[in-house]
Structure 1
Amino acid sequence: MLHTTCILLFFFLLPLFLPHGTATLNLTLPGQHPDPEALAAEVHRMVNASMGRREMLVVTEKEVASCLTGNPIDDCWKCDPNWANNRQRLADCAIGFGQNAKGGKGGEFYIVTDSSDDDPVNPKPGTLRYAVIQNEPLWIVFPSNMMIELSQELIFNSYKTIDGRGADVHIVGGGCITLQYINNVIIHNIHIHHCHPSGNANVRSSPEHYGYRTESDGDGISIFSSRDIWIDHCTLSRCKDGLIDAVMGSTAITISNNHFSHHNDVMLLGHSDHYLPDSAMQVTIAFNHFGEDLVQRMPRCRLGYIHVVNNDFTRWEMYAIGGSARPTINSQGNRYTAPEDPYAKQVTKRLDAGEGEWSGWNWRSEGDVMLNGAFFVASGGEAGTNYQNAYSVEPKNVDRISLLTMSAGVLGVARDNNLGMWTRGPNDGGVYFSDNGPEYTGDMSWSAIPLPPSPIFNLLYAFLALLCLLFNTTTLTTLL
């Protein structure tokens, strides 16, 4: 009886001492949309409106129609011939659950002039690391092509936009991007690849604070307990762990117009099957191209509501969309092209659950195009009214999906991309970098170093042990 009481006391007190402790007692997250079905319907209304405008203008105004794609994000800003001088207009163009991500809108422009990353504790002015840790909103731009090889995780502060339009910008190395306990970030038009674990070092996260970081996973973008995040028109490949991971109560996220390739575990949404705050996670995955040499997790979901809309899946080795712990997966208007392997034709994969359990999970497919034998195993009850009416025009035409995803990834021809260059001048002759390269190997990552026990946790366990001992002593005294 006493042993059981100690265990219960331990699990009651432990969350109060952890950074996410209060979240475990509150399943309503800041930024959570109260009606995700209505927002899914709104996304399709916007797509259909954009497609309708394009089809109408093709006949009447060919010059205007040439810039319209039907993609509501791109059509929002790309048809402005002066967009390069009105860059912050981009912040008004997001759709889906991350539509309120304003990034650095309203803030000053910060020009990255130095591609080095020599000191993660005291970064030099002019570097990207110096920009992303500042407290005020910043719209971060690049006057020339550059490769930024990170020494440690690039830890962001809130209200930042990385706008790589007009330059060929690559982020590689240790980390890479970490969004932790923050909000309102836009990452646009950046190559992110060959990210490997880093850590066991001090890293600055704001002008006032730096701290010791244990070893990271080596994700391309790690979203940890953050909200109002928009990742758009990036090209991601060849990282040690995930390309994009969102965990620990993160929500209000849109992942759009990106190109993913050459990777195993592409995208993880949800920390664990038992971390209940992730049941409030809401993510929109729209207009992306899941390209060559991808294996699985496009995405792999736990709990939460995931809207997968108008993406192009070009083969996979194991499965495209997987999940556990009863997530809601709303798949609409995607093109799924199965691999040649006859045992890998299924789009979906349920993990850690038998059919008797997962048959009640709400996994839906509507307007999806299935090619080369691909098939989606749906489950759950009948969809609600909002879901049934999500389309005004069902996107079953393959050409429609091709049009919506044709510009996925970094915009333009990266090796000749002066349009919208921040300096408005010719390229500075910097080196251009291609996505073509060797597969990621363990030789490209730092060696794992055994981590010493954290002194904070040692003190925590000592405190709990003492508290439990006093509790048991009091109980014994009472009994005697």
Structure 2
Amino acid sequence: MLVKPMIACVGLLASALVVLSQPAAQAAAIPYSNVPDGFARGTTGGAGGQTVTVTNQADLNRYVTASEPYIIRVAGTVNISPKGTELRVASNKTIVGVGLSGQVVGGGFILRAGVSNVIIRNLTIRDTRMPDDDPGDDGYDYDAIQMDTADRIWIDHNRLTRVNDGLIDSRKDNTNLTVSWNHIVDNNKTFGIGWTENVTTRITIHHNWFQNNTTRNPAVDNVAYGHLYNNYLQNIRTSGTHVRGSTKAVIENSYYDGVRDPYYVTDKAELVQRGEIVVNSSWASGRVKSKGSAFNPSSFYSYTLHPAADIPAMLRQYAGPQSGIGL
């Protein structure tokens, strides 16, 4: 299946693309889009606002918390103190790493209720582990990116690694979220979605490399529409993608290598899966791999579906921060 990517809203995004897009020669060869797609399509971030470059925590915090729109370029390593601090991101922001240089170390970001229209792109966010909290990572709620009832969020081309709680926590009633082309690596609690009884969330998760993690890759609870495609799960120790609650989910053309319970469905949830490649992996006895009819993603947006066999090589090259983004 090959569907052309949606190109609506390009004009609205022109200002943001000054710092988000590659030179034309590179853009012709890349397999990914430089505008938000999936359920986050139309997200503009800080478009129309001032472009600023930051190199320290004080400036980063100043601009991410501002009431005005900003395109915030992170150039170099920003060390966060106290350790585990999550900077509160306000609406209408683009936070983008400059090439391969942009890193947030020792902290992360949080989007509280009512925050909308945010892009977090091309960053490395890492290293909030607390040695006294092994093995469960329950004592310190230090996330790389946490969202609580936010709307229209694009998380793209980041490397998220070695934090004390979740690399991504999409909590409560977030919606219209796309998580794409990220390298999500070396963590215990990886990517949790839910913490709500409401079934309103719409989320697209595509072209992400989940590597050397333990659980929640992702865990998808009470999601109205969850579309997961062309993801690569490698060396996952406890569980791959767990679809639960009243979620309706579709998994397409993903690749699983060395994964315990690659994908499965419980509770009242529905899961349609097709086109997967599974190697060196196994399911626990009694796991249900598909159930119900879920929904049709193409009725919401168009998208490009790559063959599952191409995904490992593609994501080793293009997942995580890219040298041509954020310049």
Check conservation: 2:248, 2:294, Cα contact below 8 A.
no
Alignment equivalent of 2:320, drawn from 384, 404, 409: 409
Q: Where do 1:196-211 residues align within 5 Å?
A: none
Instruction: Choose 1 or 2 for highest CA Rg.
Output: 1
Question: Aligned equivalents of 1:99 and 1:381: distance in 2?
Answer: 27
Q: CA RMSD in A?
A: 3.1
1:321 is aligned to 241
Check conservation: 1:312, 1:405, Cα contact below 8 A.
no
Deviations 1:112-136 (A, max 9, x none): 14x144xxxxxxxxx1001111111
Question: Aligned equivalents of 1:310 and 1:180: distance in 2?
Answer: 29
Larger % of helix: which?
1
2:61 is aligned to 129
Identify if the C-alpha distance between structure 1 residues 403 and 225 changes in structure 2 by more than 3 Å, giving closer, same or farther.
same
Check conservation: 2:209, 2:315, Cα contact below 8 A.
no
In structure 1, the residue corresponding to 2:166 is in which secondary structure? coil
Identify if the C-alpha distance between structure 1 residues 260 and 421 changes in structure 2 by more than 3 Å, giving closer, same or farther.
closer
Identify if the C-alpha distance between structure 1 residues 372 and 48 changes in structure 2 by more than 3 Å, giving closer, same or farther.
farther
Q: Where do 1:14-413 residues align within 5 Å?
A: 45-46=3-4, 67-71=28-32, 73=33, 76=34, 93-113=35-55, 115-117=56-58, 127-142=59-74, 144-151=75-82, 152-174=85-107, 176-181=108-113, 182-195=115-128, 217-271=141-195, 275-277=196-198, 279-291=199-211, 293-304=212-223, 305-339=225-259, 344=260, 346-350=261-265, 358=267, 361-374=269-282, 377-382=288-293, 395-399=306-310, 402-403=313-314, 406-412=317-323
Question: Aligned equivalents of 2:124 and 2:229: distance in 1?
Answer: 23
Query: What letter corresponds to residue 131 of structure 1 in structure 2?
Result: Y
In structure 2, the residue corresponding to 1:314 is in which secondary structure? strand
Identify if the C-alpha distance between structure 1 residues 100 and 153 changes in structure 2 by more than 3 Å, giving closer, same or farther.
same
Question: Aligned equivalents of 2:297 and 2:125: distance in 1?
Answer: 36
In the alignment, structure 1 segments of 5+ residues that lack a partner are 1-40, 50-62, 77-92, 118-126, 198-214, 413-418, 423-480
In the alignment, structure 2 segments of 5+ residues that lack a partner are 8-23, 131-138
Identify if the C-alpha distance between structure 1 residues 373 and 391 changes in structure 2 by more than 3 Å, giving closer, same or farther.
farther
Offset at 1:421?
7.4
Identify if the C-alpha distance between structure 1 residues 276 and 193 changes in structure 2 by more than 3 Å, giving closer, same or farther.
same
Offset at 1:260?
1.1
Question: Aligned equivalents of 1:96 and 1:109: distance in 2?
Answer: 26
Offset at 1:150?
3.5
Question: Aligned equivalents of 1:132 and 1:400: distance in 2?
Answer: 34
**Could you tell me the TM-score, scaled by structure 1's length?**
0.56
Query: What letter corresponds to residue 76 of structure 2 in structure 1?
Result: N
Bigger shift: 390-399 or 250-259? Answer: 390-399
Identify if the C-alpha distance between structure 1 residues 303 and 406 changes in structure 2 by more than 3 Å, giving closer, same or farther.
same
2:12 is aligned to none
Q: Where do 1:410-425 residues align within 5 Å?
A: 410-412=321-323
Offset at 1:259?
0.3
In structure 2, the residue corresponding to 1:106 is in which secondary structure? coil
**Could you tell me the TM-score, scaled by structure 2's length?**
0.79
Question: Aligned equivalents of 1:220 and 1:400: distance in 2?
Answer: 25
In structure 2, the residue corresponding to 1:261 is in which secondary structure? strand
Offset at 1:233?
0.7
Identify if the C-alpha distance between structure 1 residues 403 and 227 changes in structure 2 by more than 3 Å, giving closer, same or farther.
same
Question: Aligned equivalents of 2:164 and 2:60: distance in 1?
Answer: 22
Question: Aligned equivalents of 2:229 and 2:313: distance in 1?
Answer: 13
Query: What letter corresponds to residue 95 of structure 1 in structure 2?
Result: D
Offset at 1:364?
1.4
Check conservation: 2:256, 2:262, Cα contact below 8 A.
yes
Question: Aligned equivalents of 1:229 and 1:369: distance in 2?
Answer: 29
Larger % of strand: which?
2
Offset at 1:329?
1.9
Question: Aligned equivalents of 1:392 and 1:116: distance in 2?
Answer: 37
Query: What letter corresponds to residue 50 of structure 2 in structure 1?
Result: E
In structure 2, the residue corresponding to 1:111 is in which secondary structure? strand
In structure 2, the residue corresponding to 1:337 is in which secondary structure? strand
Offset at 1:141?
1.3
Offset at 1:335?
0.7
Question: Aligned equivalents of 2:317 and 2:251: distance in 1?
Answer: 19
Matched length: 295
Query: What letter corresponds to residue 319 of structure 2 in structure 1?
Result: A
In structure 2, the residue corresponding to 1:265 is in which secondary structure? strand
Question: Aligned equivalents of 1:421 and 1:395: distance in 2?
Answer: 25
In structure 2, the residue corresponding to 1:129 is in which secondary structure? helix
% identical equivalent positions: 25
Check conservation: 1:257, 1:405, Cα contact below 8 A.
no
Offset at 1:188?
0.8
Identify if the C-alpha distance between structure 1 residues 256 and 392 changes in structure 2 by more than 3 Å, giving closer, same or farther.
closer
Deviations 1:130-165 (A, max 9, x none): 1111111100114x4223223332001110111113
Bigger shift: 227-236 or 369-378? Answer: 369-378
Question: Aligned equivalents of 2:243 and 2:37: distance in 1?
Answer: 24
Query: What letter corresponds to residue 101 of structure 1 in structure 2?
Result: T
Question: Aligned equivalents of 1:102 and 1:392: distance in 2?
Answer: 19
In structure 1, the residue corresponding to 2:39 is in which secondary structure? helix
Check conservation: 2:5, 2:303, Cα contact below 8 A.
no
Deviations 1:391-418 (A, max 9, x none): 9997445125633663101113xxxxxx
